[in-house]
Amino acid sequence: MSRKNERNSEEQSPSEPTTALVPARVHSQDLTPLPGTPLSGCPTSLDLTTEEGKARAINGLGEPDVAFAGASEIEFEMTDFLIHPVSKVDEETGELSEFTRLVLWDSKGQTFATTSMVVPHRLAAIFSLYPAERLRQGLRLLLVERKARKTGRTYHDLKVLPE
Protein backbone atom coordinates (compact mmCIF):
# COMPACT_ATOMS: atom_id res chain seq x y z
CA MET A 1 0.00 0.00 0.00
CA SER A 2 1.37 3.43 -0.89
CA ARG A 3 1.92 6.12 1.75
CA LYS A 4 -0.96 8.14 0.32
CA ASN A 5 -3.32 5.15 0.55
CA GLU A 6 -2.10 4.37 4.10
CA ARG A 7 -2.74 7.97 5.13
CA ASN A 8 -6.22 7.98 3.57
CA SER A 9 -7.19 4.70 5.26
CA GLU A 10 -5.96 6.06 8.60
CA GLU A 11 -8.00 9.24 8.14
CA GLN A 12 -11.12 7.26 7.31
CA SER A 13 -10.90 4.82 10.21
CA PRO A 14 -12.62 5.81 13.46
CA SER A 15 -10.36 7.37 16.05
CA GLU A 16 -10.02 6.35 19.66
CA PRO A 17 -10.58 8.92 22.43
CA THR A 18 -7.43 9.84 24.30
CA THR A 19 -9.02 10.01 27.73
CA ALA A 20 -7.89 6.99 29.79
CA LEU A 21 -11.59 6.18 29.86
CA VAL A 22 -13.54 3.58 27.91
CA PRO A 23 -12.46 3.71 24.23
CA ALA A 24 -15.20 4.02 21.63
CA ARG A 25 -15.64 4.55 17.90
CA VAL A 26 -16.14 8.27 17.43
CA HIS A 27 -16.51 10.78 14.59
CA SER A 28 -13.64 12.91 15.87
CA GLN A 29 -11.93 13.83 19.11
CA ASP A 30 -15.15 15.44 20.38
CA LEU A 31 -16.27 12.05 21.78
CA THR A 32 -19.35 11.85 19.54
CA PRO A 33 -20.21 8.17 18.91
CA LEU A 34 -21.23 7.01 15.47
CA PRO A 35 -24.96 6.34 14.94
CA GLY A 36 -25.82 2.78 15.88
CA THR A 37 -22.96 2.42 18.37
CA PRO A 38 -24.13 -0.02 21.08
CA LEU A 39 -24.25 1.29 24.62
CA SER A 40 -21.30 -0.95 25.53
CA GLY A 41 -19.15 0.92 22.96
CA CYS A 42 -20.12 4.50 23.83
CA PRO A 43 -17.74 6.96 25.50
CA THR A 44 -18.32 6.80 29.26
CA SER A 45 -16.63 6.98 32.62
CA LEU A 46 -19.00 4.34 34.02
CA ASP A 47 -17.54 0.92 34.71
CA LEU A 48 -19.77 -1.20 32.48
CA THR A 49 -18.27 -4.41 33.89
CA THR A 50 -20.13 -3.87 37.18
CA GLU A 51 -23.86 -4.20 37.92
CA GLU A 52 -23.94 -0.63 39.24
CA GLY A 53 -22.30 0.76 36.10
CA LYS A 54 -24.64 -1.18 33.82
CA ALA A 55 -27.70 -0.05 35.82
CA ARG A 56 -26.59 3.59 35.75
CA ALA A 57 -26.04 3.42 31.97
CA ILE A 58 -29.48 1.93 31.34
CA ASN A 59 -31.22 4.29 33.79
CA GLY A 60 -29.40 7.25 32.25
CA LEU A 61 -31.30 6.68 29.01
CA GLY A 62 -34.49 7.91 30.69
CA GLU A 63 -35.62 11.35 31.77
CA PRO A 64 -32.95 13.34 33.65
CA ASP A 65 -33.36 14.35 37.30
CA VAL A 66 -32.02 17.88 36.82
CA ALA A 67 -33.45 20.32 34.26
CA PHE A 68 -33.32 24.07 33.72
CA ALA A 69 -37.05 24.64 34.51
CA GLY A 70 -36.91 28.43 34.18
CA ALA A 71 -33.30 28.86 35.29
CA SER A 72 -30.65 29.64 32.69
CA GLU A 73 -27.73 28.26 34.73
CA ILE A 74 -27.31 25.20 36.96
CA GLU A 75 -24.29 24.30 39.09
CA PHE A 76 -23.57 20.59 38.77
CA GLU A 77 -20.72 18.49 40.18
CA MET A 78 -20.02 15.88 37.49
CA THR A 79 -18.58 12.54 38.59
CA ASP A 80 -19.55 10.38 35.58
CA PHE A 81 -20.76 10.73 32.01
CA LEU A 82 -22.15 8.72 29.11
CA ILE A 83 -22.40 9.88 25.50
CA HIS A 84 -24.72 7.81 23.32
CA PRO A 85 -26.44 8.14 19.95
CA VAL A 86 -30.21 8.58 19.90
CA SER A 87 -32.82 8.85 17.17
CA LYS A 88 -35.70 11.25 17.63
CA VAL A 89 -38.16 13.24 15.60
CA ASP A 90 -36.90 16.72 14.71
CA GLU A 91 -39.57 19.12 16.01
CA GLU A 92 -39.02 21.56 13.13
CA THR A 93 -38.98 19.15 10.18
CA GLY A 94 -40.85 16.12 11.50
CA GLU A 95 -38.04 13.91 10.19
CA LEU A 96 -36.35 11.20 12.18
CA SER A 97 -32.87 12.51 12.96
CA GLU A 98 -29.75 11.14 14.63
CA PHE A 99 -28.50 13.07 17.65
CA THR A 100 -25.84 12.59 20.28
CA ARG A 101 -27.06 12.65 23.88
CA LEU A 102 -24.80 13.38 26.83
CA VAL A 103 -25.79 12.23 30.31
CA LEU A 104 -23.93 13.57 33.36
CA TRP A 105 -24.12 12.11 36.88
CA ASP A 106 -23.32 13.80 40.17
CA SER A 107 -22.13 12.11 43.38
CA LYS A 108 -25.76 11.66 44.54
CA GLY A 109 -26.65 9.77 41.36
CA GLN A 110 -28.73 12.60 39.89
CA THR A 111 -28.56 13.02 36.12
CA PHE A 112 -28.55 15.88 33.64
CA ALA A 113 -28.94 15.21 29.91
CA THR A 114 -28.60 17.24 26.73
CA THR A 115 -28.48 16.69 22.97
CA SER A 116 -26.40 19.83 22.49
CA MET A 117 -23.83 19.55 19.70
CA VAL A 118 -21.46 21.82 21.64
CA VAL A 119 -21.23 19.94 24.94
CA PRO A 120 -19.32 16.84 23.68
CA HIS A 121 -16.69 19.25 22.30
CA ARG A 122 -16.43 20.92 25.71
CA LEU A 123 -16.14 17.55 27.42
CA ALA A 124 -13.30 16.55 25.07
CA ALA A 125 -11.54 19.82 25.96
CA ILE A 126 -11.98 19.03 29.66
CA PHE A 127 -10.39 15.60 29.19
CA SER A 128 -7.46 17.13 27.34
CA LEU A 129 -6.64 19.09 30.51
CA TYR A 130 -8.03 17.10 33.45
CA PRO A 131 -7.08 13.48 34.26
CA ALA A 132 -9.85 10.88 34.72
CA GLU A 133 -9.06 10.69 38.45
CA ARG A 134 -10.02 14.37 38.79
CA LEU A 135 -13.42 13.65 37.26
CA ARG A 136 -14.08 10.85 39.76
CA GLN A 137 -13.49 13.33 42.60
CA GLY A 138 -16.21 15.57 41.13
CA LEU A 139 -15.71 18.44 38.71
CA ARG A 140 -17.82 21.52 39.36
CA LEU A 141 -19.59 22.67 36.20
CA LEU A 142 -21.89 25.51 35.29
CA LEU A 143 -24.50 24.21 32.85
CA VAL A 144 -25.84 27.05 30.71
CA GLU A 145 -29.02 27.32 28.64
CA ARG A 146 -29.34 30.14 26.09
CA LYS A 147 -31.69 31.10 23.29
CA ALA A 148 -30.24 31.94 19.88
CA ARG A 149 -31.09 35.52 18.90
CA LYS A 150 -32.00 34.79 15.29
CA THR A 151 -33.81 31.47 15.53
CA GLY A 152 -35.00 31.46 19.13
CA ARG A 153 -33.79 27.88 19.47
CA THR A 154 -32.43 26.77 22.83
CA TYR A 155 -28.90 25.46 23.19
CA HIS A 156 -26.76 24.23 26.06
CA ASP A 157 -23.13 24.79 26.99
CA LEU A 158 -20.99 24.07 30.02
CA LYS A 159 -18.20 25.81 31.86
CA VAL A 160 -15.79 24.48 34.47
CA LEU A 161 -15.98 26.32 37.80
CA PRO A 162 -12.64 26.78 39.56
CA GLU A 163 -12.31 25.33 43.05
Q: What does the pLDDT read at residue 110?
A: 94
**Selection from 108-117, 118-127, 150-159 with the highest mean pLDDT:** 108-117
The pairs formed by 14-23 with CB atoms below 8 angstroms and a separation of 24 or more are: 17/43, 17/124, 17/127, 18/127, 18/128, 19/43, 19/127, 19/132, 20/131, 20/132, 21/45, 21/127, 21/132, 22/46, 22/48
Give the total number of structural domains in the chain. 1
In this prediction, residue 16 has a pLDDT band, given cuts at 50, 70 and 90, of: very low
Instruction: Render pLDDT for 115-141 as a digit per residue (tens, 0 to 9).
Output: 888 888 888 888 888 887 888 889 999
Indicate whether 90 pLDDT > 90: no
Domain range for 58 is 3-160
